Structure 1
Amino acid sequence: MSIKFGTAPCSWGVWFPRNEKQTPWERCLNEIREAGYERIELGPWGYLPNQCETLKVELKKRNLDLVATTLMGDLVSDRNIEKMLAVLDDMASLQLKFPSAKYIVLIDDTYTDLFTGRLIRPKDLIESEWRNLVRNIDKIKNYAQSRYGLEIVFHPHAQTHVETEEQIERLLKDIDINLCLDTGHHAYTGGDPVRFMRKHSSRIPYLHIKNCDMEIRKKMKEEGWSLAEAVGKGIMVEPGLGVVNMKEFFQVLNEVNFEGLAIVEQDMYPAPFDKPLPVAKRTYEYLKQIRTAH
C-alpha cells in the first residue's frame, strides 16, 4: 500500500467561494501545513486564489501540492452541462499548471436545499432522467480526458441522485468511470464502505476520508434537519470516532494494495476559526498510525 494523504478546505469549514463564517484562506493554508499535510484539493472555485502565479507562490511557500479540483452541479439537466463545462475550462486552465493535479472530483447537485431541507428537485429519477444523468457524466468525463488529460472521479454524495450503494452499483454498471469513495457519505446513506472498498477497489483510485455519527443521523431523520443543520450539529466526525471501522478499512486498503489519494474531508460548516486545526492534527496523527499498523 502506497497511500498519499491530503486534505481540503471543507475540513476548515469552507463550503463557499466567499462567506463571512469561513476561515480566511491564508489561515486555512497555514493550518493545513501546520497539521502536517502536503497535498490539498482546491475546494470551492474562488475560495483559494485561482490565478496561477498567485496560487503557485502560496502553495510553494507552504510546501503544498494541488491534487484535484471539484465540479458540482445538476447532472440530470442537459441545459446545465454547458455551464459546468465552462467552469471545467476555467479550472483546467489553472489545474494544468500543477503537474500533481490529475483529478477532477465530479458531484451531482443535491435534491434538497442545504439549509432548509426543502425538496428542490425529485429525489428519485425516472428511467429517462437516469439515462440523462449517465450520459452527462460520460460527456463530462470524456471532455476532461480528451481536451485536458484530466481524470474525472465521480463522488457519490449524500442527498444526491447517486448516494446509496444500490445507486452506485447501478452507475458502475452503466458507465465506465472511477469513483471518489467518501467513507462518511457512504455510511450516512446506510452503506458499508469497508465491504464496498473490498468489492470495487479496482474502480476507486481516490478517497475522501471522514466518518459519520449515526446517532446524530438518527436524530436528523426524526427531527427533519437539513444537511447543513446536521453538519452543524456534528454528523460528520473524525475518522476514528464514527460508525466506520477505519482500522478495518485500512486493512482492506492494504489487502488491495491501494496506491491512490486519501483526502481528509470532514464537513463542519460553520466552524469556529479555532476548531479545525486541533481536529486536523489529531486526524493526521491517527491516519499515520493506522497506516503504519498495516
Structure 2
Amino acid sequence: MTSLSPSSLSSPSTPSSLSRIRVGSAPDSWGVWFPDDPRQVPWRRFLDEVADSGYEWIELGPYGYLPSDPAVLAEETARRGLKVSAGTVFTGLHHGAAVWDKTWAHVSDIATLTQAMGARHLVVIPSFWRDDKTGEVLEPDTLTPGQWRNLTSLTERLGHEVRERYGLTIVVHPHADTHIDSEENVTRFLDGTDSELVSLCLDTGHYAYCGGDSVKLIETYGERIGYLHLKQVDPGILADVRAKGTPFGPAVAQGVMCEPPSGVPELEPVLEAAQRLGVELFAIVEQDMYPCEPDAPLPIARRTRAFLRSCGV
C-alpha cells in the first residue's frame, strides 16, 4: 500500500481528494445471498446491470453464483469492463481444530478462483449463531474463552495459509448475528489477532446495526482496516428490530438495510476517515435486499453510484 504525503493528509476533503477509494458493488446489492435460488436474478443479468450502473469492481458473491471456471468468468467480466476485488468465504473457526479441514476445503476453492481473477482480498464472514433465513438459534450468541482462543488463533492460521498459498489478504467481516458484531467483540477480536495476518472488512451497515461507530473504529484501529463495505441501516426499522429481537434475515426482508443516503451512518465522513489512512482501499456497496423483486436493484444501484460520485468517489 502506498502512503500519502503529510500535506495531502492534512488538506481539506474535497470530491477529488478521495483518490485512494475504489468503489464497486456486489451480488448482495442485487438480492443474491445463495449460489442458487429461484428468487435471485440470473448471474448474467447481475453482470449486465452492475456494469450499466457505472461500477468497475465487483465481488464474487456466494461461491457458485458466478461461473467458477476462471476462463469463463474472466471473459464474461472483461467484456463488460468489470474486475474482481475479492472473494467471500464463511467460517466457523471458533469450533476449533476439528473444523479446519472442512473450512480449508471451502476456502481453497474460492481462493483459487479469487487469485485467478486477479483479486487480492478474501472476505471472511464468521458463522451465524442463528440461521439467517429461518432465525433458528444454532448455538449461544456469546463465545467461551476457549472459543475466543480458537477463533483468534485459527483466523491467524487462515491468514497465514491464504497469504502463503494464494498471495491473498484476509479481511474479516463483522456481521450481525455472528460472534464478531458489536464494538466490544470487534475490538476484542482485533486485540487478539496479529495485525500482520488479519485485517478487517468494515461493513458500515452491519457495524451500525450492532451499535458501532464506523468513523471511530477507523480512527482507532486504522492500521487494521483493509477493506470497506458501504451500507446503511434505516434507524426506525432498526429500532423495531432491536425491540423485538428480530433475526437478521427477517430484518433484511423488512428493509432494515436501506438505500443511501437515507440511513445511517453517513457515508461521506466514513469515506473521508478512510482516505485519511493514506492507503488504497476498496469500498464495495452492499445493500442487503434478499429477497427482492428482480427489477428493484438496477435503479437503486444507479442512484447509489450517483450519490457516491457526489461524495467524491
- The alignment's TM-score, normalised by the length of structure 1, stands at 0.95
Tell me which amino acid in the other structure corresponds to 1:216: I
> 1:73 aligned to 91, 94, 113, which one?
91
Match of 1:93 in 2: 112
Q: Tell me, what secondary structure is at the counterpart of 1:104?
A: strand
SS of the residue corresponding to residue 89 of structure 2 reads strand
For the pair 1:140 / 2:158, whether they are aligned, the reply is yes
- Residue 124 of structure 2 corresponds to 106
Which of the residues 122, 130, 143 maps onto 1:125?
A: 143
Question: In the aligned structure 1, how far is the partner of 2:79 from the partner of 2:88?
Answer: 23
Conservation of the 8 A alpha-carbon contact between 2:21 and 2:275: no
Alpha-carbon RMSD across the aligned residues, in angstroms, is: 1.3
Q: Deviations over 1:26-80 (max 9, x none)?
A: 1000000000001110000000000111101100110100111001121212322
The structure 1 residue matched to 2:32, chosen from 5, 14, 31, is 14
Which residue of structure 2 lines up, in the alignment, with residue 205 of structure 1?
226
Q: The residue matched to 1:76 in structure 2 has which SS?
A: helix
Determine if contact 1:209/1:239 at 8 Å carries over to the other structure.
Answer: no
- Is the aligned partner of 1:59 residue 2:77? yes
Instruction: State the alpha-carbon separation in 2 of the partners of residues 138 and 44 from structure 1.
Output: 23
172-181 or 42-51: which moved more? 172-181
Runs of 4 or more above 3 Å deviation: none
Distance of 1:45 and 1:64 partners within structure 2: 18
Give the alignment partner of residue 259 of structure 1, picking from 274, 280, 287.
Answer: 280
Partners of 2:142 and 2:279 lie apart in 1 by 33
Overall identity of the aligned pairs, in %: 41
Q: 2:298 matched to 1:277?
A: yes
- Structure 2 partner of 1:48: 66
Give the distance between the partners of 1:76 and 1:36, measured in 2 at CA.
39
CA shift digits 1:114-173 (9 cap, x unpaired): 123232111111111110111111111111011111111111111111101111111111
2:103 match: 84
- Count of aligned pairs between the two proteins: 291
Match of 1:71, SS state, is strand
**Does residue 154 in structure 1 map to residue 175 in structure 2?**
no
- Code of the aligned partner of 2:254: K
